[in-house]
Structure 1
Amino acid sequence: MPFFSKFPVLIFFLSILGLVSAQGKEPPKDNDSERQTFRLDVNLVTIGVRVTDRKSREVRGLTAGEFSIYEEGKLQRLSFFSEEEQPVSLVILLDKSGSMGESGKMGQAKVAALSLLGAGHAMNEICYMTFHHEVFRVVDFTADREHVRAAVNNTFGERGGSSPYDGIVEALNQLSRAKHSRQALVMITDGADQHSGHNLDEVIQAVQVSQAQVYLIGYFSPAEDEIFRRSGKTVTLISGQEIDNPRFVFKRLAEESGAECFFPKSESDLKQAIETIVRDLQHQYTLAYYQSQSNRDPGYRHIKVRISRGGVRVRARNGYRLSDSPEEMARRLKTAAVEQSSGQTSQLRVRPFESKVEQKDGRVIYREDFSSSTSGWPNKAGFSYDQGEYHISEEGTIAANGPWLTNIRAHVTVQLKTGESKGNKRQEIVTIGTPGSAGLSPIQGGEPLPGAGPVFRLNERGYYAFLISPFSGSPHLYFKLIRKDIHSNKTIDILPWTPGSVPQLSQTEQKKLSVTCQGDFIQLYVNDQLAATVHEETLKDGIIGMVLFGKGHAIFDDLVVEEIQ
């Protein structure tokens, strides 16, 4: 079933315990002392509204008569009003990717998640979910907070990428089954989206169709956050791929849903963010009005909440989207979500590289002949598909794509043309090692050798690169193995430039470079001849790629990556 067909439209039927209100009758009086709560149904638009003064302090004691709601510029008749705390259906969504565990942020995030359990309305129901490159529903909606507490305490970082978009969509999908009309999603992550099957437009539409307020906490490293601050709406990864800047994304989604986003720099900042969310859910005003029956066309409806009292600030969702028919929504979004009995959710939407992936005897095999520019590799200045080959002509750059794997056997053909590179990108330094046994220095004209070859186990920590390079005056081809540490921006020689047994290559000649990785055991081959064997345990898994260092033009073809069981 398409996932949007399962979302409730942001419309409810009013059922107030101890009080009945309908169109044509007066809204509840401001001095009603009886607690008012909703039951979920289909005819009423509800909005959580936060009101603060100029010093960001909560403003309480407002009356229904001080609020006005406009939909598409037309004043709506208020049908429900309450400043009482309402029970909330809450999804806690926690990033468990490897970077969270390795940075020490996982423990802090778990403490933050646990503090959400200890606050709020006694009737709150909670669903606990986690994600890395896949999404998991760990605990379904329950009022048993100790059950959720145990699950949170049992969460640990796992190797894998990060897919917060998929996590958000799946969390909203879970909220479609929630019993309370007030709904919220709180996500804690330390990274930008790199592996989701859903794109940003789909996530925005999911937020607009859902009734939930989406609170987002981006607990980024100082270096990453500085990049996000300085960048525009997109950020270029080391892999050459462009991704959405999470600072822009989180702000957009929070504003769209009438919530907030936070970018803590420390554990105390994270604690403060959670406290703000708790207060927010406890102190919001709840307003509702009947959606006009004269206009039922699917589409987005803008909402504006105004208050007659001066000196206050109002925060509420920007609007909502009426659900299309399941068939139309499926056609527009081209995506679906399937719940599996294990609690894990998987996406039916195909990533570009998946057309090149096959399963054989339980193993993943990824074959790329670069015949189609739609297979997911960067295709922009300095990177291009051309007649069944892939070209990198911008020095110091990486292109990466494909499935996330641990133990692999991979090979690719490489042709390196030395000379001037295209673009103005600053050259990345590749440390020059001790000259090889031939007694020849791997430096030409005082500059480091150009190098090109496959990148493997590229993840949020770094990557390995197996490079080859010509050296005039030597009858042998030189090769090198490096490890790049992303956080320190250092390049470490695992093997320095070494003359191999394979003859020198010409400007038009291709060489087949192969890599086998199993645990900390790495073997390097040139034209199927074993060049070196090393033990290196720093990087455990990641994706495949290609790189060009120094001035030159690298051409790649016939990439094959096979998973080793």
Structure 2
Amino acid sequence: MRDEIRRLIAVLGVVVFLVPPGLAQNPQQPVRPPAPPQVSANQKGAIRAAVNLVEVDVAVTDRDGKLLKGLRQDQFSIAEDGKDQKISTFDYYDVERLEKADAVEAAPITIPIGSVAPPEEVRQQVRDRRMIVLFFDLTSLQPNDLTRSTLAAKQFLSKQMTSADLVGVVWFGNQLRVIADFTNDRDLLDRAVDALLPGKEAQLAALAAATSAGIDSAVTEETNAAFTVDDTEFNAFNTDRKLASLESLADLLRDIPGKKSVLQFASGITQTGEDNRSQLRATTDAANRANMSIYTVDSRGLLAEIPGGDASVGAAGGNAMYSGAAVFQQSGARQDSRETLAALASDTGGRSFFDLGDLGQAFRSVQSDTDGYYLLGYYSANAAHDGRWRTIHVKIMGVPGARIRYRQGYYAPKDFGVYTTEDRERQLEDAMRSETPVVELPIAVETAYFRLNNKQIFVPISAKLASSALQWAQKSGRRQVEFDFAAEVHDSQSGRIAGALRDTITVRLDSERYEEIQQNALVYQGGIILPPGNYKLKFLARENESGRIGTFEDDLRLPAVQPDRMQLSSVVLSSQLVEVQKSSEVQTKGFAPGAKLRELPLDVGGERIIPSVTRVFTNQQMLYIFFQAYVPEKTDLNQLRAGLEFFRNGARISQTPIVAPAQVDDQTGTASFRISLPLNTVAIGRYTVQAVVVEAGGAQAAFGRNYFALRPPLAPTARATPAVSGFGGN
């Protein structure tokens, strides 16, 4: 059991420093991001303005259900939360006209789902088209339900699909997958539906349901099993994943103009009694912003259950069968599994279909709802970004007996200042999962690697932020800023998460100290333990006063052990050594308590070397170079010697005398070297430093390189701030 736990642990570290201004300069390597831009200390926060266009699709019919066309803009009125709004955009999509037009042989139309295309080009292609997505939730569909759903879909494609329809096929199993983009190619769509086969995802479709609200009588089951798994806790995450998949689909459809109808085939969404309402709200919000209506279909069809359950469940015990509690619980559980489906449909302007003997009725309803619709747009007069639900009410004047259908409202945008804890976590999660990096906060990051043993490598992560570019809050006469740091490391081949890091750092300074460090930088240090291999790192930093996020991505190549050769770690450059001690100015909250890393590789002789993130120094500083050598077995560590060589423009210009290791560890075969030299005699410019380690009287040798730049000083060096560190496992 202990070995299993150890495999789940990724050791991380947290250190925050205030460093001298000489370190916050542009990096030497072009592959690294530039240093944060210098901002005046008295510069105020920028004024931001946002205008949000709200679009509402409105279907208008007469008493007999016939479409009413030709209505004018002045015949419509829109109110939001009871206040009239000015209609700014008005258009009519006449899908029925295209359906009735003579069919013309033409190449199939394909609109990619999720790809970026010129909006006007896509708008012309989807003009007067009906866009339908067939969404199959394999995690809730039992094999029989999936078969029933695919047969209905194939019948729709062969008999009901019209020339105006563009249909896409998407399924959700262990991940969201687009099987077919929007197209009118029936053969392609038919093959896409045929590819849907029952798999292991169906095992998630029969998780236990919580007792219905309002029913207090306990209903027990005798299954003759020695142990019955309580999967209610797991099911909470299963429900979130189902809803999150719809949210992701809405994000993919957002940039495609016009109304999108999603037919969701599911066997209900099982309730646990503690469902994540935040995820349901986020899914609804994403669908409304994407102008996406969800039509939920209970693929179980017409349910006629036997009172008390069939042979697939154990018999109820006690007096439940005689008091009627078993039947009430059975009926309540069925309704609970449909509540979320009904909420999704009603909140997005769609419909829900339960107890259908013929699932084709759902397709006919989608087509009739989108035969033609008016698309109205207005700029909300309510400028508050409070995230509240805003009710929309549409009226038509001068058309007696008209019936209208539209979505009932939307969630307003939300500023970071009113985010809940769940909202903040979701923002970080979205930024971590987004393929487009968020670069609102300037950040520079440096990584390295040090071997702990043959199977574990410690990867320190250093992030630098210019303090003058941050928004500091003022509380009780002190300045305060809070950060959230998050990192994920994925295996380059499999994409699996190999390690993660998550911390919250709070820095509090008095007025004098705040003015002193305005020209300095904040440096965060964390670390992750990984096995040798190739990885991709994604690091996020969020400043919690404004909610701005900075992103850094890089490849990590951690070399495997070569038993018969000496190997070196990264060559770390620094201009600062600190004693590790606690400070009242910095507070750290780690979200991964557990295993402790007693001593960092960067700690030598009771002092910690602070890696330079940008590797830019001044000629008034001392340069510290730190690296480790890892030798084969039976090699005498005390016989190792190391020296430095400096190159400029490809030519060697100087070298240092060889030195013995500063620290050795015979148990791991590690020798640590720390070499220091003043920079006051070094000319301004860019340099390559090469560390060379040899075995005196032996055959082992290795070298490593790094780069740095030297510039004249801009300002007197400020005193260093004591560091705070805390190392826990994740």
TM-score (norm 2): 0.35
More RCO (CA 8 Å, sep 6+): 2
Larger Rg: 2
TM-score (norm 1): 0.44
